[in-house]
Amino acid sequence: MSALVTPEDAVAAVRRKIDQKWAEAVCADLGVGDQVVFSVPLRPGVSTGKAVEQLGHAAWHEWHMHWREFSDQLPTGVKLVRKAVTIRGVAGDFPATLNADLDGAVTLIAHTRTGAEPPTVDIGRARALASALRSASAILTPATLRAVYRLRAIDVEVLVGAVTWLRQHPDASTWTLRQLPVPGMHTKWLDAHGALLRGVAGRDVRDEVRPRLTVMHLTYVDPDHAASGRRRHDAWTTSDVHDIAYRPSVVLVVENRDSRLWFPPVRDTIVVEGGGKAAAALLANVPWIRAADHVVYWGDIDADGYAILDQFRATLAEPALDGASAKPVTSILMDATDLHHYAQHGVNHDKAGRPIKPSPETLPHLTEAETIAYNTIATAGPTPFRRIEQEAIPLTHAATRLLHILKGQD
């Protein structure tokens, strides 16, 4: 801003201030926080006759006449504050600051002919959202109001309904997350908006509900076990009395059911079906997985496969809930060498024929060789292919890699 702020510049400054402080102003109108005044200095640094002389009397007079005319247009809620300046021995009151409350500021922008763009926020909608949150006894703050404002209307409805339901149900421990009878709320909604719900409700329902037990499908591939005639395929459920047939030295987590069901014999090994992106949460606290000498992951060579590996490795790098120590996770058939070796199986479209999209996600827990492969298939730029499905790689190749691990070669 120049030393003399014109009415047009002042209105534009008010608009910028609304964009910055609208949430605080809306909350203050409902008694949350201090009142917000949108204030714009009109002649910063010009408070003496000498300063006026330096600017030039013609420029000062023109500026003053503009404000005299503009002051007649000021709506309710906007005040022009004048302060005295002595010029050539004559004292007079001149515009010094433009102050506006929220209503006045919005009206000033809308109804004065300055050409200012409207605020980026619909203040009417913001007030309606704030009132809805207060009516539901939600915690209202500028931060939560901003977050709620960014939601779609249907998500706002679900959020307010969830807050109301939580207020009516102080104990959510008899439901799992999937069972919560809140209209429109499901686990994917909670994944996206759970932190916001915690902020406005003052409690985290995700920590209160009944835990969902881990159920894993697994295949015993130890040849001695197979020779015994006992069952080859099994399921294991957290906290059940059933136990696995033998304690594995190697646990291999795969993504594809066929890869698990038809995996070749490898001694002291159990193959577990991972469950996609839920693998880390499902498997991290299974005691016999943590107790294995080697935990190995094998997934698709694509953005999702590397994201699952990254999360799985990060989760097992932390101690388990029962105090079991951290466990490193090795991958097989997922590094840069494998990417090139099996390139003839690369595809660019999913099973529905849709192009596979790049991924901007950074995966800090991959090895250097895995990162090279991930960057190759996930790049936003051109790449020969974006996916090699696990099923395309012969199971005998995977078994050979596991044998190398058992022999200490990897």
Q: Which of 98, 14, 94, 39 is nearest to 62 (CA)?
A: 94
Q: Count CA atoms closer than 13 A to 112's CA, side-chain side.
A: 26
* DSSP conformation class of 343: G
* DSSP conformation class of 307: H
pLDDT band at 158 (very low <50, low <70, confident <90, very high): very high
| Cα 206 from Cα 393, distance rounded (Å) | 39
| Residue-wise burial string across 250-274, b where 16 or more C-beta atoms lie within 10 A, e elsewhere | bbbbbbbeebbeebbebebbbbbbb
- Rounded to 5 degrees, what angle do the CA atoms 359, 360, 366 make? 85
Mean pLDDT of 355-379: 96
Helices H / strands E in the chain, number of each:
17, 9
248-293: per-residue pLDDT in tens?
999 999 999 999 999 999 999 999 998 887 777 778 888 899 999 9
Identity of the residue numbered 147: A
Torsions phi, psi of 250, nearest 5?
Answer: -125, 130
Tokens 């698709």 belong to 300
386 near 302, Cβ under 8 Å? yes
Check residue 257 and give its pLDDT: 93
| Cα 371 from Cα 376, distance rounded (Å) | 8
Is residue 198 helix, strand or coil? helix
State the pairing for strand pair 90-100/215-220.
Answer: unpaired
Torsions phi, psi of 321, nearest 5?
Answer: -60, -30
132 near 126, Cβ under 8 Å? no
Q: What is the torsional sign of CA 219, 220, 226, 231?
A: negative
* DSSP conformation class of 355: B
Check residue 118 and give its pLDDT: 82
Of 109-123, 243-257, 349-363, the one with minimum mean pLDDT is 109-123
- Residue 100, token pair as written in the block: 């506006």
Is residue 272 helix, strand or coil? strand
55-69: per-residue pLDDT in tens?
999 999 999 999 999
Torsions phi, psi of 2, nearest 5?
Answer: -75, 175
pLDDT band at 1 (very low <50, low <70, confident <90, very high): very low
159-190: per-residue pLDDT in tens?
999 999 999 999 999 998 889 999 889 888 99
Q: Count CA atoms closer than 13 A to 10's CA, side-chain side.
A: 31
- Residue 219, token pair as written in the block: 């295949």
| Cα 269 from Cα 296, distance rounded (Å) | 10
Query: Given a cut of 80, is residue 239 above it in pLDDT?
Result: no
* DSSP conformation class of 255: S
Is residue 42 helix, strand or coil? coil
Q: What is the torsional sign of CA 48, 54, 55, 61?
A: positive
Check residue 114 and give its pLDDT: 63
Sheet holding 90-100, edge to edge: 38-41, 90-100, 78-87
Helix or strand holding residue 312 (H, E): helix 303-316
In DSSP terms, 259 is beta-bridged to none
Q: Count CA atoms closer than 13 A to 325's CA, side-chain side.
A: 5
Mean pLDDT of 346-358: 94
Q: How many CB atoms lie within 10 A of CB 275?
A: 18
Q: How many CB atoms lie within 10 A of CB 353?
A: 6
Query: Given a cut of 90, is residue 153 above it in pLDDT?
Result: yes
Is residue 6 helix, strand or coil? coil
Query: Given a cut of 60, is residue 2 above it in pLDDT?
Result: no
The proportion of the chain whose per-residue pLDDT surpasses 90, expressed as a percent, equals 83
pLDDT band at 409 (very low <50, low <70, confident <90, very high): low
297 near 369, Cβ under 8 Å? no
The proportion of the chain whose per-residue pLDDT surpasses 70, expressed as a percent, equals 98
| Cα 247 from Cα 268, distance rounded (Å) | 8
- Residue 115, token pair as written in the block: 């050409």
Q: Which of 211, 203, 195, 11 is nearest to 107 (CA)?
A: 11
